Every structure is written in structure tokens, then in C-alpha cells.
Amino acid sequence: MAKKIKADICVIGAGSGGLSVAAGAAQLGARTVLVERGHMGGDCLNTGCVPSKALIAAAKHAYDMTDGARFGIAAAKPKVDFAKVNDHVKGVIAAIAPNDSVARFEGLGVTVLQGEARFKDRHTVIVGNTEIRARRFVVATGSRAAVPPIPGLADAPYMTNETIFENRVCPEHLVIIGGGPIGIEMAQAHRRLGAKVTVVEAARALSKDDPELALFVLDRLAREGVEIVEGARVESVSSSEGKISVALEGGRTIEGSHLLVATGRTANVDGLDLEKAGVKFSAHGIDVDDRLRTANKRIFAIGDAIGGLQFTHVANYHAGLVIRAALFRLPAKADYANIPWVTYTDPELAHVGETEAEARARHMKINVLRWHLAENDRAQATRETEGQIKVITDMHSRILGCTIVAPNAGELILPWVLAKSRGLKLSAMAGVTVPYPTLSEISKRVAGSYYTPTLFSPRTRALVRFLGFFG
């Protein structure tokens, strides 16, 4: 006999977005059920953000040992124990895991069910021998690595972000198909840990970012020894005697020891029986309106499951909107105009709003402002002068977009996210007092550069001389 549960809200998927909805709902007094078929914490904790940043941190420590000569410190070749690097990655996951654990969420009052969820009808979900009938459902099933239909790939050993963090041996030659953020981050990290690395990209590497600033990152990788092959279509993949061969259009073949496929993400919508609940979906994800409601208005979908911007912070943003809509019945609508993103290379590449190309296509006139790290005293002191901030405004000095390539650019972008989301003008950024010496001064300097031509114009100088006559 099936066990039956009545709930106010049932969340399917215990990744970042689902956990945020479940925690918020339970703490607000709603009867909450959370269903997860795999590991609590989802992709971000187990195979995404957390392990990748832990690996990147280890790689930076290794690289810094080789880069001391400019400070008067003899360079040393690091002895990398790749298995212990992997232990470090697993240790970071383990340290964070209790925050996402079954025990913690049950302590918050959430009923946690571990198993496959599928819709029985428009009002009911089945997990094993349990039926959940809820006033509202939230589908937060995330995404998985997309594997392109390349001839021979299915028969060859390859890794994705879901398996690469299980690897405990440094690749002799890592070939990466895909030059997006995941591919480029893993390329630099593995190169710094001792692997030869080749990246194959069908179009342009880091194609979603401003090409002017993305070039800083790509040039850095090239100098570190990463080969990036752009505009190259993979015709086939084969393997033999422990080697992977990647054949490119035009006749070139790249042979490596390991292969990473980093060609995007696919929404997890299979097996949910969404059609029984009246939910429309496609290969790109679940269809939702601007309030994140599906065709069945009792069912919401969030995060990677709906496609679009597939970032952890977007899933958490969605979670807040759903809590407002599902529990408080507030008409909260998703707005992606102020969503930032970061590629965690060295230097980092961070962005919010419109790129220069997008702004030129959408506005009659724009201003493009730049400030180079070489003009920043802190950057000079740390010998990290390769980078730039680029700000796009309209003709009324309203901020349209900002891109930063610099150490810790992911931290430096936040004031611009705040300024843009609040509709502030450049004068707000130009007028703040910034601690010296910090990299954050580049934000004040680039904003101030907008006013420099007017401030030091002949007209202003004449005004100063005129006022001087009055004592």
C-alpha cells in the first residue's frame, strides 16, 4: 500500500536551487518535502563549482612556485602529487557537504525522500511507494554534461565535469573539446599541475564574453603552454592502446592520453513524466513564464532545468522568486539584466550587463570607458598588471554593462552589479572613497575618467580663473 504525504510544497532536486527553496519554505512554516535521486548538493557541490574551484586553487599554488623570479625569489619546480590534489578536492567537498546533508534538512523540518520522482498526475508525485500530494511543486532537477554526437566518441573513454574529479592521475596530454568557461578553467588548472593541454573549440573560445577582455585570458593560457585551436570542428574520436585521437576537419589529428568533453549542459527532464502533469518541455528544458511557472500553474521550475543562464547563483535567485510566489502569492518576475558571471581563470574574467557589441546593437550612442591594471598601484606592487576594466554607458552616464579581467575580478564586479541593478549613474562610483592601495580603485578611476574631459576643459579652467578675481 502506498504511503501518502500531504505537503504545502514539494521540491524535486536537492541542488543549490532546490535546497534554497526547501530551506526557506520549511523555516517559513510550510510543510515541505524534498526529493533527490542522487547526492545532496547536486552538481555544484559534487561535480561543479566546488571541486573545480578547489582544483584551480591547488593549481595556482603550484604555479606560484614557478613565478617568484620577478620578486627576487628563485623559482622552484613543484612536485605535484595528483592523487593528493584529488584528496584536497574531495576534502573541500566533504567540508561543505554537511550544509547540504539530509540530517541538516530534516533538522529544519523538511521531509527528505531519496529516490526517483515522477508525476502521477497534475497534483501528485510518486517516489518509490510514496505518493506526495502538494499545493505547489518545484522542479529543480538541474542539468548534466551535454555529449555531442561525434562519430566514435561513445566508444572512446572520455571525461566530463561529472567524472574528471574522480581522476587521480595527472594526464600526460589532456585534450579538451569545448572552449567555454569549464573547458578553459580546466585547461589552465591541469596545465599548471603538469599536464600538456590542447583545447579544441568549434567557434571562438570564451565566446559569450567581450572578446577584447577574453583575449587577456586566452593569451595568458597560451603563454603558460596551453594550445587553443579555434574554429576547429571535430570530425571523429577514436582510441587505441591507451591513447585518444581527435580528428579535426582539415586533416589534423590530435593525440592525447585523456579526453574531456566540455560542450555545454543538457537539462535533466527525462523520467519525470512531466506530460502527465501538463508541463511543457523540450530538449532545452522546461518551459516557464517570467514568474517561473510551467503550463501547470501549480508547478514551478528553476535553475538549469529551464535552460538559459545555467549558474548556481541564478538557481538561488530563482529560489527566492519561487518562495515569494508560491508561499506569499506575490507576482515576482525573473529579470536577468543584472545577472553577473565569472570565469575562474587566472586572471579571472567577470561580467554583468551588456557587452560593447550588444550595447552598440541596442542603443543609438554609447560610451566605452577603460582603465588598465598597469595604472593601479596595488597591481604594480603585486606584479599583476595584465588586466583591464571596461564599462559601457549610455549618453546619460547610466551603466549598461561592465567587464573586468583581473585577479579576483569576481569580487571586483559586485559594485557594478549593485550600481546597474539600482540604476545608478557613473557619478555614484566616481564619488566613493576607496581604500588605498587596492585593486578596487580601478572602479573609481574608470568612472572618474568619464568626467575628466569636462572637469579639465578650457571652459572649466576659465571659470576657475574668473572666480580667482573674487579673492
Q: What are the structural domain ranges in the chain?
A: 3-145+266-328, 153-263, 347-453
**pLDDT for position 239:** 95
Closest by CA to 295, choosing from 318, 314, 276, is 276
Q: Please state the separation of Cα 358 from the chain's center in Å.
A: 20
pLDDT band for 16, please (50, 70, 90 cuts).
very high
Closest by CA to 201, choosing from 154, 248, 242, is 248
How many CB atoms within 10 Å of residue 264?
15
Cβ atoms of 306 and 294 within 8 Å: the answer is no
Radius of gyration of the chain (CA): 25
Q: Does position 211 have pLDDT exceeding 90, yes or no? A: yes
Does 465 or 133 have the greater pLDDT score?
133
Give the mean model confidence (pLDDT) for residues 125-152.
Answer: 97
Closest by CA to 179, choosing from 199, 152, 158, is 199
Q: Do domains 153-263 and 347-453 have the same CATH topology?
A: no
pLDDT band for 1, please (50, 70, 90 cuts).
low
Q: Does position 2 have pLDDT exceeding 80, yes or no? A: no
How many CB atoms within 10 Å of residue 266?
18
**pLDDT for position 256:** 97
What H or E segment, with its residue span, contains residue 99?
none
Closest by CA to 30, choosing from 133, 118, 136, is 136
Sheet harboring 258-261: ordered strands across? Answer: 227-229, 196-200, 173-177, 258-261
Check residue 9 and give left, alpha or beta (phi > 0: left; psi -120 to 50: alpha).
beta
CATH number for the domain formed by residue range(s) 153-263: 3.50.50.60
**pLDDT for position 454:** 79
Q: Does position 457 have pLDDT exceeding 90, yes or no? A: no
pLDDT band for 377, please (50, 70, 90 cuts).
very high
DSSP 260-311: EE---EEE--TTS-GGGGT--EETTEE---TTSB-SSTTEEE-GGGG-SS--
Look up residue 78 and give its three cell numbers: 613543484
**pLDDT for position 145:** 96
As a whole number, the mean pLDDT across the chain is 96
Q: Does position 471 have pLDDT exceeding 90, yes or no? A: no
CATH number for the domain formed by residue range(s) 347-453: 3.30.390.30
DSSP β-bridge partners for residue 199? 176, 228
Helices 181-192 and 49-65: angle between axes, nearest 10 degrees: 40
Residue 364 has phi, psi (to 5 degrees) of: -65, -50
> By three-state DSSP, how is residue 124 classified?
strand
Q: Which fold has domain 3-145+266-328?
A: FAD/NAD(P)-binding domain (3.50.50)
**pLDDT for position 386:** 95
DSSP β-bridge partners for residue 197? 174
Closest by CA to 344, choosing from 137, 455, 182, is 182
User: Distance between CA 197 and CA 217 in Å, rounded?
Assistant: 15
Residue with cell 504525504: 5
Cβ atoms of 86 and 54 within 8 Å: the answer is no
**pLDDT for position 464:** 80
Share of the chain above pLDDT 90, in %: 94
Q: Does position 455 have pLDDT exceeding 80, yes or no? A: no
Cis peptide before 340 (omega within 30 of 0): no
**pLDDT for position 75:** 93
**pLDDT for position 465:** 82
Residue with cell 527532464: 269
Give the mean model confidence (pLDDT) for residues 7-31.
Answer: 98
pLDDT tens per residue, range 145-175: 999 999 999 999 999 999 999 999 999 999 9
Cβ atoms of 207 and 199 within 8 Å: the answer is no
pLDDT tens per residue, range 277-314: 999 999 899 999 999 999 999 999 999 999 999 999 99
**pLDDT for position 459:** 85
Give the mean model confidence (pLDDT) for residues 215-233.
Answer: 98
**Neighbour-count burial for 387-425, b at 16+ CB within 10 Å, e otherwise:** bbbbbbbbeebebbbbbbbbbbbbebbebbbebbbeebb
**pLDDT for position 470:** 85
Task: Give, in order, the Cα–Cα distances in Å from 172 to each of 72, 195, 199, 201, 303.
Answer: 32, 5, 14, 20, 36
